[in-house]
């Protein structure tokens, strides 16, 4: 536990990442420290030790930045290897979404600067030749994104950063609705919109296991609620 | 630290304290077991949370209540709009009825949710208003003589007005987010905000699918070479093809200097708020989206992408200026 706290209490991500970047043995060292402190968790190899998104507003924005990196990687692949029978309209929509996700990620990187948490995405075994599979994956990414944006908002203290997140959040909701329409399912289906007419939302701790499925280096959000 | 004393002290100034925390009264009575489950060091936190929750139910600030009532006024407008449309025979084609009814149901639920939230927060929900969905209000002559006289007789006109309401609703909720920072109601407001965005995208998709317009589910600047000056009139931001609603996509006229919370900006800007040096310092300046890398270029992003990828907020005063008295009489 102490080792984890040591890392998490590090004042900002910059110092820690610089450490990881420049110290050749850094990753292994961190792994040993964290592994010794998490015997109750699954015994994964040191390379899978989670990187924390950090504290405060930057922690929340980094968490969202990670999501955008996953979405950008996904749609880049969708357009690079179009599924069988992709119509011109679908190509246009999906290209737009790809470009939006790419610019969202770039924007977060610009906002976060040296604190930006760059990750390596691992999309896993998605069959990019299948329309049904790709659109189902797109739906799950977009729905996850909307839920994540709304669920992390309470962690943001400065209104300016809340504006940053909300200007993007509604565009993710627009994407989600469009993907639903392409799938010919309700754009405000009961799987995503509750009995009060509210979009569902979830805090980082609930969504991290899903998010981590798509990351080579896992992330944690120990300080975000 | 003596927890019993703290509670007694509060009761001296607030006799209703026990009622406020009534769901947690059992926990207070069984304070020993409560304590045993919470680390001693965390007890102040647990108490703080308990008090915060007890009072958050009843003591919302005037600004929060005003924000919620503002949201309710928008939901009344939308709910009445869709209720009227669904009740008007011959307006909505059978093939599109379920689609519109999905939206209608959400707006009706939003009204109920906000009424309950305002009451729970110690406020009084405002009453439903009187509406002129032709957009005439009292400004351009008799009620019903606005720019959309066929709003309930022509499906194309109806969808055009619906699109504007939904897009404006998204901006309005977004503009209220800074008021709700740290308040549990922020999450609810953003959850409604997301549903309004889903509606907006769907209406836009439907308009294009039916051949009524060529709009994307997202708001793309109709001008590919803007925006060196703020587009306050909205002429370069309004992609709906309906010039009468330019202001819905325009910049703030109520905010004369750039606000870090609600940019005095139109719906489509190419510079977004916030560059930062630390997580706790207020950001300064902005990020020029047009110079960010894209798939096509390592040094630039197109105006279309830069504008569509972000939905900008609009301040309460500006939303009201657009809707009152044109639509809300």
- Rounded Cα distance between A77 and A174, Å, is 21
Q: Which residues pair with B296 in a beta bridge?
A: none
Q: Which residues contact A157 (CB under 8 A, 6 or more apart)?
A: A56, A57, B181, B182, B280
Note whether B188 contacts A: Cβ–Cβ < 8 A. Answer: yes
The mean pLDDT value of chain B amounts to 79
Note whether A62 contacts B: Cβ–Cβ < 8 A. Answer: no
- Interface ipTM: 0.81
pLDDT at B192 over 90: yes
> What is the distance in angstroms between the Cα of A127 and the nearest Cα belonging to chain B?
22
> What is the distance in angstroms between the Cα of A99 and the nearest Cα belonging to chain B?
6
- List the single residue in B191, B260, B308 with the smallest CB-CB distance to A201: B191
DSSP state for residue A146 in the 8-state scheme: H
The predicted pLDDT at position B306 comes to 87
Residues of chain B contacting residue A178, judged by C-beta atoms under 8 Å apart:
201, 205, 217
* Inter-chain CB proximity A171 and B113 less than 8 Å: no
Scanning A84-123 for CB atoms below 8 A from B yields 93, 96, 98-100, 102-104, 106-107, 110-113, 115
> What is the distance in angstroms between the Cα of B5 and the nearest Cα belonging to chain A?
30
Contact A193, B106 (CB under 8 A): yes
Contact A12, A54 (CB under 8 A): yes
Note whether A184 contacts B: Cβ–Cβ < 8 A. Answer: no
pLDDT in tens, A88-125: 999 999 999 999 999 999 999 998 989 999 999 999 88
- In A81-203, which residue ranges form alpha helices assigned H by DSSP? 88-112, 131-152, 159-182
Q: Which residues contact B180 (CB under 8 A, 6 or more apart)?
A: B64, B67, B186, B189
Lowest mean pLDDT among A143-152, A162-171, B224-233: B224-233
Strands A51-52 and A219-220: parallel
The predicted pLDDT at position A45 comes to 42
pLDDT at B19 over 50: no
**Other residues' Cβ atoms within 10 Å of the Cβ of residue B185:** 22
Helices (H) and strands (E) in chain A, counts: 8, 2
Lowest mean pLDDT among B12-26, B68-82, B163-177, B232-246: B12-26
pLDDT in tens, B120-152: 999 999 999 999 999 988 655 566 788 999 999
Six-digit token pair at B294?
Answer: 């894209």
Closest residue in B to A149 (Cα–Cα)? B190
* Inter-chain CB proximity B292 and A149 less than 8 Å: no
The predicted pLDDT at position A48 comes to 57
* Inter-chain CB proximity B277 and A76 less than 8 Å: no
Six-digit token pair at B58?
Answer: 């009843």
Residues of chain B contacting residue A175, judged by C-beta atoms under 8 Å apart:
201, 217-218
- Rounded Cα distance between B249 and B238, Å, is 5
Scanning A195-224 for CB atoms below 8 A from B yields 195-201
The predicted pLDDT at position B232 comes to 76
**How buried is B313 (Cβ within 10 angstroms: 0-12 exposed, 13-18 middle, 19+ buried)?**
buried
pLDDT at B55 over 90: no
Nearest to B266 by CA among A173, A167, A25: A167
Q: Bin A207: left if φ > 0, else alpha if -120 < ψ < 50, else beta.
A: alpha
pLDDT at A167 over 50: yes
Nearest to B122 by CA among B181, B190, B171, B57: B57
Would you list the DSSP string of A102-117? HHHHHHHHHHHGGG--
Contact A50, A124 (CB under 8 A): no
* Inter-chain CB proximity A103 and B218 less than 8 Å: no
Bond preceding residue B110 cis, omega within 30 of 0: no
Q: Which residues contact A104 (CB under 8 A, 6 or more apart)?
A: A68, A71, A72, A168, A171, B309
Note whether A140 contacts B: Cβ–Cβ < 8 A. Answer: no
A46 compared with A91, residue with greater pLDDT: A91
Contact B200, B105 (CB under 8 A): no
The contacts found for B225-230 with CB under 8 angstroms, 24 or more apart, are: B225/B303, B226/B268, B226/B270, B226/B303, B227/B266, B227/B268, B227/B269, B227/B270, B227/B303, B230/B264, B230/B265, B230/B266, B230/B269
Closest residue in A to B268 (Cα–Cα)? A167
């Amino acid at each position: 536990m102490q080792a984890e706290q040591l890392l998490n209490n590090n004042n900002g991500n910059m110092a820690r990442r610089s450490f990881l970047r420049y110290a050749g043995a850094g990753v292994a060292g961190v792994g040993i420290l964290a592994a010794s402190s998490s015997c109750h968790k699954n015994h994964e190899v040191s390379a899978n030790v989670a990187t924390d998104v950090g504290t405060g507003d930057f922690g929340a924005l980094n968490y969202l930045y990670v999501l955008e990196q996953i979405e950008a990687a996904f749609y880049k692949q969708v357009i690079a290897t179009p599924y069988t029978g992709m119509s011109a309209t679908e190509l246009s929509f999906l290209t737009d979404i790809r470009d939006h996700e790419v610019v969202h990620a770039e924007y977060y990187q610009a906002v976060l600067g040296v604190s930006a948490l760059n990750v390596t995405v691992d999309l896993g075994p998605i069959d990019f030749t299948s329309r049904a599979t790709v659109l189902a994956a797109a739906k799950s990414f977009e729905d996850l994104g909307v839920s994540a944006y709304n669920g992390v908002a309470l962690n943001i203290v400065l209104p300016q950063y809340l504006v940053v997140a909300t200007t993007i959040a509604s565009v993710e909701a627009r994407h989600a609705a469009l993907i639903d329409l392409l799938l010919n399912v309700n754009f405000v289906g009961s799987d995503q919109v509750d009995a009060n007419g509210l979009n569902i939302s979830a805090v980082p701790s609930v969504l991290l296991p899903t998010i981590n499925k798509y990351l080579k280096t896992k992330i944690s959000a120990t300080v975000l609620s | 630290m003596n927890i019993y004393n703290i509670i007694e002290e509060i009761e001296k100034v607030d006799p209703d304290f026990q009622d406020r925390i009534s769901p947690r009264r059992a926990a207070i009575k069984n304070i020993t077991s409560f304590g045993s489950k919470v680390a001693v060091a965390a007890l102040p936190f647990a108490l703080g949370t308990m008090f915060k929750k007890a009072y958050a139910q009843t003591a919302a600030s005037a600004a929060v209540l005003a924000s919620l009532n503002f949201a309710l006024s928008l939901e009344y407008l939308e709910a009445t709009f869709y209720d009227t449309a669904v009740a008007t025979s011959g307006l909505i084609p059978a093939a599109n009825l379920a689609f519109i009814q999905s939206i209608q149901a959400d707006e009706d639920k939003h009204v109920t949710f906000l009424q309950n939230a305002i009451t729970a927060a110690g406020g009084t929900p405002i009453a439903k208003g009187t509406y002129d969905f032709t957009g005439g209000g009292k400004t351009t002559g008799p009620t019903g003589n606005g720019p959309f006289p066929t709003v309930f007789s022509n499906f194309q006109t109806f969808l055009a007005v619906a699109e504007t309401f939904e897009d404006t609703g998204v901006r309005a909720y977004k503009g209220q987010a800074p008021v709700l920072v740290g308040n549990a109601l922020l999450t609810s407001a953003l959850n409604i905000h997301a549903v309004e965005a889903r509606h907006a995208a769907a209406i836009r998709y439907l308009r294009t699918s039916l051949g009524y317009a060529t709009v994307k589910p997202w708001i793309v600047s109709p001008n590919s070479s803007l925006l060196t000056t703020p587009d306050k009139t909205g002429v370069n931001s309004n992609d709906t093809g309906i010039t009468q609603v330019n202001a819905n996509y325009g910049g703030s006229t109520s905010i004369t200097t750039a606000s870090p919370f609600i940019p005095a900006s139109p719906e489509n800007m190419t510079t977004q708020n916030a560059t930062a040096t630390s997580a706790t310092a207020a950001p300064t300046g902005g990020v020029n989206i047009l110079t960010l890398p894209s798939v096509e270029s390592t040094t630039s992003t197109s105006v279309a992408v830069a504008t569509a990828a972000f939905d900008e907020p609009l301040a309460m005063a500006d939303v009201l200026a657009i809707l009152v008295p044109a639509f809300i009489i």
